[in-house]
C-alpha cells in the first residue's frame, strides 16, 4: 500500500511538473497571425495602406537584456505584419527620445548604436544560428535606425531619413564570426523610416531565405511564401542614449537566459512565430481600433489563452475592463488596476468579441478574436 501511494505521488509530481513546463512555454510564446495582402504596401515609412489599417498591433515591450523596461518617453515600440507570396512586410513604430549612431562604419560594433534587430527563421526549427556553419539557420538582421549617405558604405555621412541618398544599412554575421567581416545585406530588406517628433515609423519589406543560402553566390532565390507557413520570429531594439547600448527591448522575454545556454541571439529556441494566414482583412472584418489614444495595447490578437491589456496613457486613468460578445452582452467585467490586466479567455466560445477599458469620461474599444 505504501509503495502504491509513493508511486501515485511520483506520478502526480511528474504530471504537475509537465503542466508547469507547458504553462511556462505558453507564457513565453509570442505568436503573431499575419494576414495576407492582395496589394503590396508602398515602402515609404507612412503605412497608410488598407493592409496596415486592418492589421493588428503587437507590443515590443520585453527587456531582453534583463534590465527594467525604460520609461515610455525614452522607448515605446509596437509592430504589425502582413505578407504575400514573395515578401513579408512589417510596420513598426518606435518612440525613442535620442537616436544615436556614433560609429560611421556599418560593421563597427553595430549593435551598440540605435538599431532594430529582426530575427527570422524560415523553417521555425530550434537550432543554433549566430555565425559559422549554422549562420543561415536563421537571419539576424541588424538595421540602423539612423540613415547614412549610400554613396559611401564605410564613411557615409548622417543624412535625413527622407533624403534621396539615405539608406538604413542592414548587417548580419555570416560564415565568419568576426564582426568586422559581417555581411552587407542591404539588398535583403527594403527600409524606409519617417519621423514625427520622437516617433519613428519604420516600414520594411523582407525577402525570406532558407538555410541553403550561399553567401558566395549572387543567385540566391527567396522562398515562395504559402498559407499556414510558420516562421520563427523576434524583434529586438537596441537603444543607445550614451554612446553604447543602454537597453535592449524586444518581443520575447529574456527567460533569464541572455547569458545562458540558449540565448536568442545564438539560438532560435526562444523565438516567437509568425503564422501566415490566407485571409485578407478588409474594413468589415478588420480588428481595428476605435481609439482615443495609441498608448493602449491588447495582445495577442487572435487569442486562445491569456489576453493582456496595458495602458500607457499619461493623462487618462482607466478603472474598468469589460469583454462583450457580438450581441453586446457583457461576459466579463472587472476592475482595471495598475494599468494592466491579464485575462484568461480560454473558457469563452470561439468568436469575435469587443474588449474595452473605460472611466467616467472615456472608453477605448478593440475587436478581438478568441480562438
Which domain covers residue 301, as residue numbers?
Answer: 289-370
Phi, psi (rounded to 5 degrees) for 249: -120, 135
Digit-coded pLDDT (tens) for 152-166: 999 999 999 999 999
Question: How does pLDDT run across 267-323, given as a tens digit for each residue?
Answer: 888 889 999 998 887 544 444 333 334 578 888 888 899 999 988 876 678 899 999
pLDDT band with cut points at 50, 70 and 90 for residue 335: very high
* Residue 118 shares a structural domain with residue 236: yes
pLDDT digits (tens, 9 = 90+) for 121-138: 999 999 889 899 999 999
pLDDT at 7 over 70: no
Our count of domains for the chain comes to 2
Same domain, 221 and 358: no
CATH number at residue 216: 2.60.40.1190
Burial 326-343 (b: 16+ CB within 10 A, else e): eeeeeeeeeebeeeebeb
Residues 216 and 85 grouped into a single domain: yes
Q: What is the CATH number of the domain that holds 336?
A: 2.60.40.3080
- Given a contact cutoff of 8 angstroms between Cβ atoms, the answer to whether 325 and 353 are in contact is yes
CA angle 19, 59, 333 (to 5 degrees): 70
Asked if 158 and 298 sit in the same domain, the reply is no
Taking only the tens place, the pLDDT of each residue in 43-86 is: 999 999 989 988 888 889 888 776 778 887 788 999 999 999 99
> Where residue 262 falls among pLDDT bands split at 50, 70, 90?
low
Q: What is the mean pLDDT of the chain?
A: 84
Structure letter (DSSP) for residue 27: H
pLDDT of 24 above 70: no
Distance CA 336, CA 359 (A): 10
Amino acid at each position: 500500500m505504501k509503495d502504491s501511494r509513493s508511486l501515485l505521488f511520483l506520478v502526480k509530481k511528474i504530471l504537475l511538473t509537465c503542466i508547469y513546463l507547458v504553462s511556462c512555454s505558453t507564457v513565453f510564446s509570442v505568436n503573431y497571425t499575419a494576414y495576407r495582402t492582395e496589394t503590396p504596401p508602398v515602402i515609404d515609412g507612412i503605412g497608410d495602406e488598407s493592409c496596415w489599417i486592418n492589421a493588428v498591433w503587437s507590443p515590443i515591450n520585453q527587456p531582453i537584456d534583463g534590465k527594467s523596461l525604460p520609461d515610455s518617453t525614452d522607448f515605446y515600440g509596437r509592430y504589425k505584419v502582413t505578407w504575400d507570396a514573395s515578401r513579408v512586410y512589417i510596420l513598426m513604430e518606435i518612440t525613442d527620445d535620442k537616436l544615436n549612431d556614433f560609429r560611421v562604419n556599418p560593421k563597427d560594433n553595430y549593435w551598440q548604436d540605435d538599431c532594430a534587430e529582426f530575427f527570422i527563421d524560415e523553417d521555425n526549427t530550434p537550432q543554433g544560428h549566430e555565425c559559422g556553419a549554422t549562420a543561415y539557420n536563421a537571419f539576424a538582421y541588424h538595421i540602423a535606425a539612423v540613415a547614412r549617405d549610400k554613396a559611401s558604405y564605410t564613411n557615409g555621412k548622417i543624412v535625413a531619413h527622407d533624403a534621396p541618398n539615405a539608406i538604413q544599412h542592414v548587417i548580419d554575421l555570416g560564415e565568419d564570426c568576426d564582426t568586422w567581416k559581417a555581411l552587407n545585406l542591404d539588398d535583403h530588406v527594403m527600409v524606409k523610416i519617417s519621423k514625427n517628433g520622437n516617433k519613428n515609423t519604420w516600414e520594411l519589406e523582407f525577402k525570406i531565405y532558407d538555410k541553403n543560402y550561399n553567401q558566395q553566390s549572387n543567385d540566391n532565390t527567396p522562398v515562395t511564401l504559402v498559407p499556414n507557413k510558420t516562421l520563427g520570429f523576434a524583434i529586438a531594439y537596441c537603444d543607445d542614449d550614451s554612446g553604447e547600448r543602454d537597453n535592449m527591448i524586444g518581443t520575447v522575454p529574456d527567460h533569464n537566459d541572455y547569458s545562458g545556454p540558449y540565448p536568442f541571439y545564438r539560438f532560435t529556441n526562444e523565438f516567437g512565430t509568425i503564422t501566415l494566414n490566407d485571409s485578407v482583412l478588409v474594413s468589415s472584418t478588420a480588428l481595428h481600433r476605435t481609439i482615443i489614444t495609441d498608448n493602449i495595447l491588447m495582445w495577442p490578437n487572435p487569442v486562445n489563452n491569456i489576453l493582456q491589456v496595458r495602458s500607457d496613457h499619461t493623462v487618462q486613468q482607466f478603472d474598468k475592463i469589460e469583454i462583450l460578445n457580438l450581441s453586446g452582452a457583457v461576459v466579463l467585467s472587472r476592475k482595471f488596476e495598475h494599468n494592466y490586466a491579464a485575462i484568461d479567455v480560454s473558457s469563452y466560445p470561439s468568436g469575435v468579441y469587443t474588449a474595452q477599458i473605460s472611466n467616467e469620461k472615456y472608453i477605448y474599444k478593440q475587436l478581438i478574436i478568441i480562438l
